[in-house]
Homo-oligomer: A and B are copies of this chain.
Amino acid sequence: MTDIDVPSGIAARTETPAPGDPRLARLSLNQKTVDRWSLQEAVDACVQHGVPAIGVWREPVAAVGLATAVRMVGDSGLRVSSLCRGGFFTAADPAEQDRAHDENRRALDEAAALGAACLVLVPGGLPAADRDLRGARGRVGGCGRTARATRLDTGVRLAIEPMHPIFAADRGVVSTLAQALDIAEPLPSEAVGVAVDTFHVWWEPGVEEQIARAAGRIASYQVCEWITPLPPDALLSRGMMGDGHIDFGHLSRCVADAGYRGDVEVEIFNADVWAADGHAVLDTLARRYVELVEPHV
C-alpha cells in the first residue's frame, strides 16, 4: 500500500519541491497516475505543481477531441513526454493485424499533433485460446511496419515497452528489455526505441547490461514501484516509488550512463493512488522523485 495521505519516512524527510525547483526540470506526470482527472485537470495540476511535462493517453485525448487536446497542451507550455499507446502486434489474423496497424497510424498522427516525444507500444498478449507464445513473440516484429509509417520530421519515436512477465499472457509478450532490443535493433534508432519502465524490468537478470546496450534507443524512462504484497488486481499492482523493492538510484544511474537525457515519467496504476486526492498524489510523487530518482538520472 502506498502512503499518499500519511507520508512515509522518506517523504517526511523531504519538503515538497516548489514550482520552478530545478530538480523538477525533467519530471513528467503520466496521466494514468491521476486516472480520475480529465486531460484539462491533469494539465492544470502539472502547471500548478511545477511539473513541466506530461505523458498523455489516447482515450482522454479522444474525450475532448484532438484539436482541443493540442490547444490545451500548447497553452500550458508543458512538454508531452509520451503518448500511450499503440502496439498490439500479436493478432494471428491478418485482418486484425491491419486494424491494429491502422490504429497505430492514427496514434502516430495524434502523437505528432501533440508534439509527443514518443508513442509507447504495448506488444499485445496471446490471442484468445492461442498458446503459441513463440509465435506471438515473432509477430511483434510486425512493429517494423509501424516503424515505416513514422515520419522522422515529426520527431515521434516508437517506444517498444517490454512488460513484466505477469502480463505475458494477456498484455505484453515481450517480457524483457533484451527481447525489446532484439526487435528494435534491426530498425532505425531515430524511429524505434524502447521504453524502460522500472516496474517491468527491475527483476530482469542482467538488466544493467541491457540498459547499457539500449544506449541511443531509450525513448522513454518511466518509474514506478514493485510493492508486496502485490495488490489483488494485477493491472493495478504498481506502487509509489519508495514503498517497495526497487533500487531507483541504481536503475536511474544505468539509464543516465546510457546517455538518456529525456523526461522521467511517473506512471502508477494503483487503486489506492487513484482513490487519493490528485494534488496529494502529485506532492508525494514530486517528493519521492527528488529524493529517490532525480539525484541519479
Chain A interface residues toward B at CB < 8 A: 126, 131-134, 137, 164-166, 168-170, 175-176, 178-179, 202-205, 208, 226, 228-230, 232-234, 244-247, 250
Query: A136 to chain B: closest CB distance in Å?
Result: 10
Q: Hey, which chain B residues are within 8 Å of A208, CB to CB?
A: 134
- Known A-B contacts A131-B246, A232-B232; the reply to A166 vs B169 at CB < 8 A is no
- Our pick among B131, B179, B230 for the contact of A247 (Cβ within 8 Å) is B131
Give A12 Cβ to nearest chain B Cβ, in Å: 16
B132 touches A247 (CB 8 A): yes
> Given A126-B245, A131-B247, A245-B126, is A230 in contact with B166 using a C-beta cutoff of 8 Å?
yes
A244 touches B205 (CB 8 A): no
**Contact of A170 with B228 at beta-carbon distance under 8 Å, contacts A131-B247, A175-B205, A205-B176 already known:** yes
B244 touches A203 (CB 8 A): no
Nearest B residue (CB) for A165: B203
Asked whether A133 lies within 8 Å of B169 as measured between CB atoms, the reply is: no
B226 in contact with A230 (CB, 8 Å) = no
Q: How far is the CA of A233 from the CA of B228 in the complex (A)?
A: 11
For A201, give the chain B residue with the smallest CB separation. B165
Q: Do B133 and A202 have beta carbons less than 8 Å apart?
A: yes
